[in-house]
Each structure stands twice: as C-alpha cells, then as structure tokens.
Amino acid sequence: MVVKRALRVAELAPLWKTIPPTKYGGSELVVSNLTEGLVSEGVDVTLFACGGSKTSGKLIEVIEKPMYDLMGGFSWTAISPYEFLSFNELFKRLNEFDIIHNHMGFHPLIFSKLLSVPIVTTLHSSVEPDFPYLAKELKDCLFVSISDAQRKLAPSLNYIATIYHGIEIDKFRPNYTNNKNYFLFIGTLSKNKGIDLAVKACHELGQRLIIAGEVRESDKDFLEKEVLPFIDGDKIKFVGEVNHDQKVALYTHAKALLFPIRWNEAFGLVMPESLACGTPVIAFSNGAIPEVIADSETGFVVDDFEEFLKRIKQVNQISRKKCREVAEKRFDTKVMVQNYINLFEKVAWGKSL
C-alpha cells in the first residue's frame, strides 16, 4: 500500500482512559489500533490523549492522567472542562495538519466553522446523542458511523462513510481443537449487555460460564439481584477485568462468546476479537450484530431467549476456522486503516466523496 504523500492527521482521543487502555476500553483500543496502523502506512499522525498513553506517532499529553482517575469515574451528564485542553493544544498546532479526526463527540464541532482544517468525527456511541441540541445544530458536519445500524440513533447526521472497527489480528491466536469446556461473556456487566441472560442460559443448561469485564456503580443493584446469586466460582465464575493476554486466553479456550445484548450495540469489538481466536459468537439480533456475525456461519444470530438456548447447544456446528478466516478478511486493522486513508484523502485533498 502506498500513500501518495504523507497525510498529516490530528487524532483527538477521548481522555477518559489511556491510549491504548490497560484493560477495558473499546473506543480507546480502536483509536490506538487506527493510530498505529496509520503510522505504519506512512501517515504523519499526532495523537492528543491523556498522560500514560503510548503511540508510535507524535503524542501530545493533554492532561497528566486519565479523566477517569481525575474525576473518580465516568460522567455523561456534562462536558468536562478537561476536554477543552485538547482543543487548546490542537489550536496551538493547527497549521500542522491536513485533517482532524475527532473521537470526542459533538462538542468539538462547535469550532469547525472557525477552522480552515476539515474535521471528521467518528461516533462510538450505542445510544442516542447525549446532547441532542448539539447534534441538531451540527448535523451537517462530516460523520463516520461504525455500522449502518448506528445511523438509526441519529439519522439526520451527514454520514460520509461507514467504517467497521479493526483489530490487530496477529495478536489473537486461533484455536481449532475441540477441547473447550466453557462459554464466555466479556464486557461491561450491565443489563443492556445481557449479562443476566448469559448467566441464566448457562445455569439452565448446566454449562460453565466465565465472566470477564467491568462493574460500574450504576449496575451494582441489578447485578446483586440478577447475576451475583448464580456466581459460585465453579459453574459460573467471575474473573474481573482482564488485560490483552488474559483476554486472548479466555477467547481461545471458549466454546463460544455469548453476546445477548438488549440494546442497539453500534458495533461490539468483542465479536471480531472472538472470531479472530476461532471462537463463534451467539448474539441477539440487535444493533449491528447482523452486520458483524453471519448467522450459521460465524455463529448464531437469535431473536429470543429460547432460540438462544437452542443455539448454545448447537455451537459445535460452527467452523472455528471459518470464524478466523472472516475475521482476517473483514476486521483486520489494515482494512480499517485503508478505509480511513481513502476517506481522509478525499476530505483533505478535495477528492469526490
């Protein structure tokens, strides 16, 4: 792959966690994969991120440590003042870029009409805009969706592309043998993610389930009632948040990833990660799931709990080699990176969209 001349890209990362994240952090991992992939293709990338972040491009540490640590957790009810420091650092260097790639949501776009450098915003959310009045005012800016399903959350926006997330396939080792004895749930332990449905299904079927992920304060009451009573450390086991190597080991030896989501998941990075390990996915047909999982080919896409139970028992019908092949073809970082390079060239250099 040859870049005609070096694009100069500013990547505005979320400040909540480091780039890449040490454990859980889907958006932060995507930003890292994209940044490293762009640099490897000869793109001149400057990453604006929190302290502790790492990149092979140029790093501007906007704040000394993640906002999650500074604020004692997440907050979605207001725009954090810390984020304005990203804009401050960007404006100091504005003439160094051909394009600005925004991962911080809608509010940076307030400045778009004042700038000579175009801004492309990738939306990572699986919910309707937190600040709908901003979305309405800024709907004509340039947006990238991470799935076609995501567009239903804010259909009036000016979408110029859908680009699926990519993972570094080579960092996920596949396992094609039949020695697996548990199912896996990985992600935020929330009702939207369907952790209770995964637990209920494995409990009813007498199957082992390993749960890995983040517990948020807002979900604790739900977990106390619907999940924790079933966790016995044997059949149903919770291992907490895991790092990359631990995550890969869990995927590799699982019968399948269970993903019984209740909401409009915009993508779901755990799905291509699982496929890359040769592990099929059994998921509810919400959000982007039908775009990512091919029913009866790389897993099963189901409509209700009864079908979920049925497909769990049929998981051995899925070819683990096929799962890996699809992950390599559709969800390798290289595919995502090339799609963004093509888009950036069009936007920055005036080519037709």
**pLDDT tens column, 190-211:** 999 999 999 999 999 999 999 9
C-alpha 279/C-alpha 257 separation (Å) is: 7
DSSP 223-246: HHHHTGGG--SSSEEEEES--HHH
The secondary structure of residue 143, as a DSSP letter, is: E
Question: Are 281 and 299 in contact, with CB atoms under 8 Å apart?
Answer: yes
> Which residues face 46 on adjacent strands?
10, 58
The secondary structure of residue 295, as a DSSP letter, is: B
How do the domains of the chain map onto residue ranges?
8-166+332-348, 169-330
The secondary structure of residue 214, as a DSSP letter, is: P
State the pLDDT at residue 4. Answer: 59
Question: Are 141 and 112 in contact, with CB atoms under 8 Å apart?
Answer: yes
| 169-330 is a CATH 1.20.120.1690 domain | no
Encoding tokens for residue 64?
């000394």
DSSP 19-62: SS-SSS-HHHHHHHHHHHHHHHTT-EEEEEE-TT---SSEEEES
Amino acid at 55: T
Tell me if 8-166+332-348 shares its fold with 169-330: yes
> Which residues face 281 on adjacent strands?
257, 299
The H or E element that residue 133 is part of is: helix 132-137
C-alpha 194/C-alpha 184 separation (Å) is: 13
State the pLDDT at residue 351. Answer: 57
State the pLDDT at residue 6. Answer: 84
State the pLDDT at residue 5. Answer: 66
The H or E element that residue 336 is part of is: helix 333-348
Question: Which residue positions in the chain have pLDDT lower than 70?
Answer: 1-5, 24, 76, 178, 351-353
State the pLDDT at residue 215. Answer: 87
Instruction: Render pLDDT for 94-115 as a digit per residue (tens, 0 to 9).
Output: 999 999 999 999 999 999 988 9
Encoding tokens for residue 158?
């000016």
Encoding tokens for residue 104?
């911080």
In what side-by-side order are the strands of the sheet with 281-284?
A: 236-240, 209-212, 183-186, 257-259, 281-284, 299-302
The H or E element that residue 186 is part of is: strand 183-186
Encoding tokens for residue 40?
């490897």
Q: What is the C-alpha end-to-end distance of the chain, expressed in Å?
A: 20
**No. of helices (H) and no. of strands (E), the chain:** 12, 13
C-alpha 34/C-alpha 319 separation (Å) is: 29
| 8-166+332-348 CATH fold | Rossmann fold (3.40.50)
Residue 346 — φ and ψ, nearest 5°? -65, -45
